[in-house]
Every structure is written in structure tokens, then in C-alpha cells.
């Protein structure tokens, strides 16, 4: 039997845990979050981009560069590792949470729970790793400023959104710390969070996004991206992907076999009851699909599966690479990068995709780690850069609350609540840093644009 790592016999009072958190302010005052944006030893922008492109499919790198040039916010979304270098030079309270690792505003989205309910939560865990909880919050705050600027919000509105995100995080952590453990564990999973954080202006946006999300499923993908083919010898029909290059392309037989073999291995990473579910399906087709900004150039496949009668299921099989935050944190070597992402999501999300798992694909002689998940699991989003400017602070409060709940799944909320107890200067410090970091990102983006303009970097759009 493994040695126990828990002590069920010795009770520690709530007051003592809060006091531990308060004591951390002596080492790291909350006002210290208001600081310079860039670390003295941060990588040069072009060096960072070159390093982040290593190991990607060469023919897709210009597309990644093109997507990063679209705006400073787009650049920010593709440069989590660069910000990690800056955050690592900043203060931290010493409290560690399971981070999203890339908690920008667009990585909060709607998706379906196992019961088919629409929930909103963090929905991207490519960079997940244990680390200082402040890193996620400061990345969120900076993203709100950048998204607000892109959407035409004033500087005061951008600052207010960042400030409200920090304040909402602080107040939500305090609220969760005062609740029974079992109550706080399941808090804030649905649209009720909007009212709880006084973000009522977003209710219509949420309902519109939820209405679209309910239609965003595998059947819709099949209608738009596949065609039905009849096998005249067997009389059995099947669906196949319709290529739409460069975003959706067909793959050769060897890749198809590698993906199917990988799916066979993936089954064992699911909970036992779900293994019985997924093995009722059969694979009909495999395609390659480009996704996102930071993920462009990595292997990413779609698997089209047939179920009961006309039922279809589309799975995404996405390459997992080491977190961009890893170089700036204590050494952590996961057994499998896909497992790291899956376990991170399971640790953080209130509701997790029932078909989320991991596998290894053997492609062109290389063994590569992947995650597997439903491609369109009632997914939707509220486009923060397209919000009315006076709704930006509402979104900040919503995302700040969701991030607080996410962190308290792995970090005792009483510790963070003790550290932040009534510390209103914390909100302003985070907001001021966010504005400063948005300015830094705009300068980094301008440097990228200059490199593309003078031919040092190739860029494509699609």
C-alpha cells in the first residue's frame, strides 16, 4: 500500500489557514503586482518566435506567422511563452495552483456538460502546468486590455475591465473560501454565474452564444464538411471529409492507419464506462485540420466515426507539446504530454468532456503525444473583442470569477482568500500591470510586423 500523504486525524482550523495566507503578504505585498512589464532577460521577440516554431510542420509556419500578425491581441494569443518569461521575473505569493497556462479572454468558452447542459469555463489546456496562480490572472487582465483596444474600447474602459477581473477573482475566492467544501467544488458551472458576479449586461450575449452552441455538434460538422458515399458492393453507406485546403486536407493511408491505431490506444485512458461507449463506434475517415494560432504547425487530425444508424461523432486528435511555461518553472517532466493536458483539464474544469483522453501516434518514424477530445461538443464563445465597450468590464468580472473557481480546485481557497483579504490595492496593481503589458505586446507585435515587411519572416493568411 502507498504511504499516506493525507492526515485525516489532525484538524486545522479555518482561521489558521486564513492566517497562513495573510502572512504571505509580508513577503509579497499585493501592491508589488504593479511593476515593469518586461523581464530584463526576456528573449528577443524574433528569437522567441524562432524557438516556438521548432518541431512544427515547416509548410505551416508562415500561416502561423500570418495569424500572429493580425493584431496585437492575435500576437498575444500565440505568445504565452514570451509572457511566461516576463511573469517569471515578477513577484508571487508562493501559492501554487494548476494553471490553465494561457488564460487569455478567448480561452473561456461555452461547451456541453455530460448531461447536455451549456456551461462556461476555461476550455484550453495546452499550456497547463502547476505554477503561481497570479500568472493566469495577469495574463487574463492583459488580454482584456488588448481585446478591448481591438474592439474600440477607451483606455479607461480597458483599465476598468482588467481591474474588475482582479476584483472579481478576489471576491470570488473569498466567497468560495467561506462555503462548505462540497458546495464550493461545484460552484459557478452555468449562466447563474453571470448574476452572481453582477455581469447582467452579458446575459443576452451568453444566451445568443448558448443558442449557437447547442447546434454546434458532430452532426453539424458532418453536414458541412462531409459527403455521403454508397458502397455498391456492400450496400453500406459512409461519410467522408470534403477537402477544403489549406485548413482541411485529406491524409494518406499510412497516416490514417496511425491515427486509428492511436485511437485504439486512447480507449484505455478513458474511464471504464466510457470505454464501452466509444468502442461502439467505427472510424469512417481521417483528415488533417489546422486550428488556432498557437497550435498552427502542429499535427492535428479529425476522425469521423459512425455510431447508431445515422449517428456521427467527430473527434479531434491534437498534438501535445511541452507547455510554453515549463522553462520558467521548477523541473516537471510528465510521463506523457497528452496526459499532462488531460489531467490538467480534469483538475480545473467543473465539467470535462467525457471523451477526453490521450494517446501516442507513430508518424513518419516518430512517436508523438496527442490529446483526443470531441471536436464540437456544443462549443461556443462570447467574442470579447466584439463586445460593446461598456460590456467589457462585465466580461472581466465573469472571467475573473471563473478563473478563481478553476484555481480553487487545486489550491485551498482559504489560503488565497487570506492573502487577498480586503486587499483592494491588489485590483489596481493588477490592472496597471495589465495596461503596461498590453503596451509591451503592441511593441512586440510591431517588431513582428517589421520582420515580415522587410522579408525576414514569411507570412501567409488563410
Give the separation between CA 392 and CA 43, rounded to whole angstroms: 31
Give the separation between CA 414 and CA 18, rounded to whole angstroms: 5
Q: Distance from CA of residue 257 to its chain's centroid?
A: 29
Alpha carbon distances (Å) from 365 to 109, 253, 258: 36, 15, 11
Give the separation between CA 225 and CA 213, rounded to whole angstroms: 18
Instruction: Give percent above pLDDT 90 in the chain.
Output: 87
Q: 175 and 267: one domain?
A: no
What is residue 2's predicted lDDT score, i.e. its pLDDT? 45
Contact 339, 358 (CB under 8 A): yes
Give the H or E element holding residue 237: strand 237-241
pLDDT band at 194 (very low <50, low <70, confident <90, very high): confident
Q: Is 33 domain-assigned?
A: yes
Give the separation between CA 395 and CA 53, rounded to whole angstroms: 32
- Specify the residue for cell string 487545486: 410
Q: 145 and 132: one domain?
A: yes
pLDDT band at 115 (very low <50, low <70, confident <90, very high): confident
Q: How many residues does the chain have?
A: 462
How many CA within 13 A on the CB side of residue 2? 3
Q: 55 and 147: one domain?
A: yes
pLDDT band at 1 (very low <50, low <70, confident <90, very high): very low
Mean pLDDT of 232-254: 87
What is the 8-class DSSP label of residue 406?
H
Residue 68 grid cell: 500572429
Q: Is 459 domain-assigned?
A: no
Q: Is 462 domain-assigned?
A: no
Domain hosting residue 419, numbered range: 14-214+380-453
Instruction: Give percent above pLDDT 70 in the chain.
Output: 98
pLDDT band at 120 (very low <50, low <70, confident <90, very high): very high
Contact 194, 426 (CB under 8 A): no
Give the separation between CA 17 and CA 404, rounded to whole angstroms: 18
Q: How many helices (H) and strands (E) does the chain have?
A: 17, 12
Residue 95, pLDDT > 80, answer yes
List the one residue out of 98, 135, 65, 11 whose CA is nearest residue 293.
65
What is residue 396's predicted lDDT score, i.e. its pLDDT? 97
pLDDT band at 232 (very low <50, low <70, confident <90, very high): low
Give the H or E element holding residue 72: helix 72-77
Residue 192, pLDDT > 80, answer no
Q: Given CA atoms 158, 161, 162, 164 in this order, what sign does their dihedral have?
A: positive
Residue 136 grid cell: 493566469
Q: Is 458 domain-assigned?
A: no
What is the 8-class DSSP label of residue 33?
G
SS3 (DSSP) at 66 = helix
Q: 145 and 184: one domain?
A: yes
Q: 182 and 246: one domain?
A: no
* Domain limit, last residue, from 327, 356, 374: 374
Mean pLDDT of 297-321: 97
What is residue 78's predicted lDDT score, i.e. its pLDDT? 96
What is residue 193's predicted lDDT score, i.e. its pLDDT? 82
Sheet holding 357-363, edge to edge: 248-250, 282-289, 300-306, 312-319, 366-374, 357-363
List the one residue out of 372, 406, 379 whose CA is nearest residue 274.
372
Residue 55 grid cell: 518541431
Q: 95 and 188: one domain?
A: yes
Q: 141 and 121: one domain?
A: yes
Higher pLDDT, residue 183 or 265: 265
Residue 191, pLDDT > 80, answer no
What is the CA angle 13-14-17, rounded to 5?
Answer: 95
Residue 34, pLDDT > 90, answer yes
Q: Is 344 domain-assigned?
A: yes
What is the CA angle 65-66-67, rounded to 5?
Answer: 90
Residue 282, pLDDT > 80, answer yes
What is residue 279's predicted lDDT score, i.e. its pLDDT? 96
Residue 282 grid cell: 467505427
Lowest mean pLDDT among 66-80, 81-95, 181-195, 428-442: 181-195
| Burial class for 10, CB neighbours closer than 10 Å (0-12, 13-18, 19+) | exposed
Q: 30 and 160: one domain?
A: yes
Residue 420 grid cell: 487577498
Residue 93, pLDDT > 80, answer yes
Q: Is 70 domain-assigned?
A: yes
Lowest mean pLDDT among 229-243, 344-358, 429-443: 229-243
Give the separation between CA 161 and CA 403, rounded to whole angstroms: 15
What is the 8-class DSSP label of residue 79?
-
Tally of domains within the chain: 2
* Domain limit, last residue, from 374, 401, 427: 374
What is residue 21's predicted lDDT score, i.e. its pLDDT? 97
DSSP state string for 144-207? HHHHHHHTT--HHHHHHHHHHHHHHHHHHHHHHHTS-HHHHHT-S-STHHHHHTT-GGGHHHHH
* Domain limit, last residue, from 374, 403, 431: 374
Q: 98 and 118: one domain?
A: yes
What is residue 186's predicted lDDT score, i.e. its pLDDT? 83
Q: 407 and 368: one domain?
A: no
Q: Is 102 domain-assigned?
A: yes
What is residue 459's predicted lDDT score, i.e. its pLDDT? 97
Mean pLDDT of 131-143: 98
Q: 357 and 324: one domain?
A: yes
What is residue 195's predicted lDDT score, i.e. its pLDDT? 81
What is residue 445's predicted lDDT score, i.e. its pLDDT? 98
pLDDT tens, 377-408? Answer: 899 999 999 999 999 999 999 999 999 999 99
Mean pLDDT of 85-94: 97
Q: Is 460 domain-assigned?
A: no
Residue 59, pLDDT > 60, answer yes
Q: 54 and 184: one domain?
A: yes
What does pLDDT average to over the chain?
Answer: 94
- Specify the residue for cell string 459527403: 227
Residues 6+ apart with CB under 8 A from 280: 307, 308
Mean pLDDT of 292-298: 92
Give the separation between CA 399 and CA 104, rounded to whole angstroms: 9
Amino acid at each position: 500500500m502507498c504511504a499516506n500523504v493525507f492526515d485525516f486525524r489532525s484538524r486545522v482550523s479555518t482561521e489558521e489557514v486564513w492566517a497562513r495566507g495573510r502572512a504571505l503578504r509580508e513577503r509579497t505585498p499585493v501592491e508589488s503586482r504593479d511593476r515593469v512589464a518586461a523581464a530584463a532577460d526576456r528573449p528577443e521577440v524574433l528569437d522567441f518566435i524562432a524557438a516556438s516554431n521548432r518541431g512544427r510542420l515547416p509548410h505551416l509556419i508562415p500561416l502561423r506567422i500570418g495569424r500572429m500578425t493580425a493584431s496585437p491581441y492575435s500576437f498575444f494569443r500565440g505568445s504565452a511563452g514570451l509572457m511566461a518569461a516576463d511573469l517569471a521575473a515578477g513577484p508571487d505569493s508562493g501559492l501554487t495552483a494548476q494553471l490553465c497556462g494561457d488564460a487569455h479572454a478567448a480561452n473561456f468558452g461555452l461547451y456541453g456538460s455530460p448531461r447536455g447542459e451549456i456551461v462556461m469555463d476555461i476550455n484550453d489546456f495546452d499550456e497547463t502546468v502547476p505554477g503561481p496562480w497570479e500568472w493566469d490572472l495577469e495574463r487574463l487582465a492583459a488580454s482584456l486590455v488588448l481585446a478591448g483596444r481591438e474592439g474600440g474600447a477607451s483606455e479607461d474602459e480597458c483599465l476598468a475591465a482588467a481591474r474588475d477581473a482582479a476584483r472579481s477573482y478576489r471576491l470570488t475566492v473569498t466567497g468560495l473560501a467561506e462555503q462548505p467544501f462540497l458546495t464550493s467544488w461545484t460552484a459557478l458551472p452555468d449562466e447563474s454565474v453571470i448574476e452572481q458576479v453582477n455581469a447582467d449586461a452579458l446575459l443576452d450575449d451568453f444566451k445568443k452564444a448558448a443558442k449557437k452552441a447547442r447546434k454546434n455538434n458532430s452532426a453539424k460538422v458532418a453536414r458541412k464538411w462531409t459527403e455521403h458515399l454508397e458502397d455498391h458492393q456492400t450496400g453500406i453507406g459512409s461519410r467522408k471529409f470534403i477537402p477544403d485546403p489549406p485548413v482541411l486536407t485529406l491524409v494518406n493511408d499510412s497516416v490514417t492507419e496511425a491515427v486509428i491505431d492511436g485511437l485504439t490506444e486512447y480507449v484505455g485512458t478513458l474511464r471504464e464506462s466510457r470505454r464501452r461507449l466509444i468502442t461502439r463506434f467505427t472510424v469512417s475517415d481521417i483528415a488533417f485540420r489546422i486550428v488556432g494560432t498557437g497550435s498552427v504547425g502542429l499535427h492535428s487530425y479529425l476522425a469521423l466515426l459512425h455510431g447508431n444508424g445515422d449517428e456521427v461523432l467527430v473527434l479531434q486528435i491534437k498534438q501535445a507539446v511541452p507547455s510554453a511555461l515549463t522553462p520558467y518553472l521548477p523541473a516537471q517532466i510528465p510521463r506523457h504530454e497528452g496526459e499532462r493536458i488531460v489531467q490538467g483539464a480534469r483538475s480545473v474544469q467543473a465539467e470535462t468532456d467525457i471523451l477526453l483522453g490521450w494517446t501516442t501516434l507513430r508518424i513518419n518514424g516518430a512517436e508523438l503525444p496527442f490529446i483526443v477530445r470531441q471536436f464540437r461538443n456544443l462549443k461556443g464563445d462570447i467574442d470579447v473583442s466584439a463586445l460593446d465597450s461598456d460590456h467589457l468590464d462585465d466580461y472581466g468580472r465573469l472571467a475573473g470569477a471563473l478563473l478563481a473557481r478553476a484555481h480553487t480546485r487545486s489550491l485551498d481557497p482559504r489560503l488565497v482568500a487570506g492573502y487577498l483579504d480586503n486587499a483592494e490595492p491588489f485590483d489596481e496593481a493588477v490592472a496597471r500591470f495589465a495596461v503596461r503589458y498590453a503596451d509591451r505586446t503592441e511593441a512586440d507585435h510591431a517588431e513582428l510586423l517589421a520582420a515580415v515587411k522587410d522579408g525576414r519572416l514569411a507570412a501567409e493568411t488563410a
